[in-house]
């Protein structure tokens, strides 16, 4: 299959790309579209065969449900039987934006989307192109991140092309994603809101809307100690997610002398080691590549996946990442670094 890449860098191209994307979605095709978090692999949420194709193209396990993307309140009625007051408060504070809300699903949402769960994950994305496509289609769009299963989420059209060329007919190039990591997923099905996947809308911001919001429990996901119930509740939170191909370790160092000792400890050559740092900058001559990422969380998130992709292309023996602060604004980033570094 030939994969077209369409830019949207002026109003005429934007309009043409919206028309093309909507026509393809309407025919049941699966295409890659930009969102503000990461690129999405989109299909008409009301077309069961198209939704099934998403799983086939990604190689995604059928047990991992998809996010349904809406544009505007009018689409919510088809997705959920009722819109609770707590959801309305989160909507007002953060939508459109990088927050996904999990609620009991309406009958019209297929079990293909929800992987058999009785809840549905909803997001109203901020990216103007994605909004226009959903509005013009007139139906919600199901979309996971536009990567092959267990690989890094793409934050640029080039990264999508590298993974999905020949598998989909269209990639819309909306530039670099402005948020850079996947949305925060917040479960609103229980007594109080629970963060299932941390993201750039972090616990302190969520608690400003509902002070009872809880962080993800240590036992959730399927890391060590995960309970079967928790793994079921957050089916996509497999530990080995969001990973580059090369082994990666997150460590703390002070001076470049101490950093130089680490590659050998992990059976790697320093000259075949990539380093991602934000505070303590080592001598670049000692390593294959040294990426310096700004040390505020928004800028760091925006740069992280692009840097990991760039490192991966060099086929290093090891990627060393300087650990990041232990505060809530960094929760989403720490989560992705932890997952990318778990073997
Ligand atoms: O930023 C994002 O969320 C991007 C863009 C494209 O919107 N999408 C994304 O989708 O990251 P994906 O499929 O890679 O991750 C969706 C996450 C998974 O962890 C999945 O398990 C969880 O949302 N999820 C979806 N439906 C759920 C549900 N009903 N209950 C609990 N978790 C759910
Ligand atoms: Mg994903």
Summarised one tens digit per residue, pLDDT across range 299-325 is 999 999 999 999 999 999 999 999 999
Q: How confident is the model at residue 184 (pLDDT cuts 50, 70, 90)?
A: very high
Any atom of ligand 1 within 6 Å of the Cβ of 155: no
As a whole-number percent, the residues of the chain with pLDDT over 70 amount to: 92
Contact 314, 274 (CB under 8 A): yes
Chain-wide mean pLDDT for the chain?
92
Q: How confident is the model at residue 255 (pLDDT cuts 50, 70, 90)?
A: confident
Beta strands in the chain (DSSP E): 4-7, 31-33, 40-44, 67-69, 99-104, 119-123, 141-142, 170-173, 184-187, 194-197, 248-251, 273-277, 289-292, 318-322
Q: From its phi and psi, is residue 242 left (phi > 0), alpha (psi between -120 and 50) or beta?
A: left
Q: Any idea what DSSP says for residue 212?
A: T
Residue 18 has pLDDT above 70, yes or no: yes
Any atom of ligand 1 within 6 Å of the Cβ of 196: yes
Any atom of ligand 1 within 6 Å of the Cβ of 65: yes
Any atom of ligand 1 within 6 Å of the Cβ of 164: no
Q: How confident is the model at residue 296 (pLDDT cuts 50, 70, 90)?
A: very high
Residue with more model confidence, 134 or 149: 134
Prediction pTM value: 0.94
Q: In the chain, what's the furthest Cα-to-Cα distance?
A: 60
Q: 3-state class of 218 per DSSP?
A: coil
Q: Which ligand is nearest to the CA of 113?
A: 1
Q: What is the mean pLDDT of residues 107-119?
A: 96
Residue 294 has pLDDT above 60, yes or no: yes
Probe target for ligand 1 pocket from 39, 58, 100, 146, with the most ligand atoms within 8 Å of CB: 100
Task: Identify the residue whose tokens are 């999905």.
Answer: 164
Any atom of ligand 1 within 6 Å of the Cβ of 111: no
């Amino acid at each position: 299959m030939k994969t077209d890449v369409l830019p949207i860098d002026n109003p005429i191209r934007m309009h043409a790309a919206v028309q093309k994307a909507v026509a393809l979605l309407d025919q049941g095709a699966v295409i890659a579209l930009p969102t503000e978090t990461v690129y999405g692999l989109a299909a008409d949420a009301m077309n069961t065969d198209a939704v099934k194709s998403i799983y086939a193209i990604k190689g995604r396990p059928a047990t991992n449900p998809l996010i349904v993307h809406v544009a505007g309140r009018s689409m919510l009625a088809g997705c959920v039987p009722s819109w609770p007051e707590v959801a309305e408060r989160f909507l007002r504070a953060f939508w459109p934006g990088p927050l996904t809300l999990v609620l009991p699903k309406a009958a019209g949402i297929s079990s293909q989307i929800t992987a058999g769960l009785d809840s549905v994950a909803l997001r109203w994305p901020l990216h103007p192109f994605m909004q226009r496509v959903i509005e013009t289609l007139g139906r919600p769009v199901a979309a996971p991140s536009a990567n092959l299963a267990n690989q890094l989420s793409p934050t640029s059209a080039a990264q999508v092309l590298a993974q999905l060329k020949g598998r989909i007919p269209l990639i819309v190039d909306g530039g670099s994603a402005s948020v850079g990591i996947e949305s925060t997923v917040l479960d609103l099905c229980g007594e109080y809101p629970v963060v299932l996947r941390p993201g750039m809308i972090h616990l302190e911001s969520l608690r400003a809307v509902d002070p009872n919001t809880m962080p993800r429990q240590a036992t959730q996901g399927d890391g060590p100690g995960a309970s079967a119930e928790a793994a079921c509740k957050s089916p996509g939170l497999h530990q080995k997610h969001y990973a580059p191909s090369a082994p990666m370790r997150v460590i703390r160092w002070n001076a470049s002398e101490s950093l130089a000792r680490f590659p050998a400890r992990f059976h790697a050559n320093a000259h075949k080691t990539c380093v991602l740092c934000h505070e303590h900058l080592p001598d670049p001559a000692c390593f294959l590549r040294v990426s310096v990422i700004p040390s505020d969380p928004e800028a760091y998130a925006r740069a992280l996946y692009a840097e990991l992709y760039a490192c991966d292309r060099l086929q290093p023996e090891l990627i060393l990442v300087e650990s990041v602060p232990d505060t809530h604004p960094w929760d989403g980033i720490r989560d992705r670094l932890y997952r990318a570094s778990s073997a």
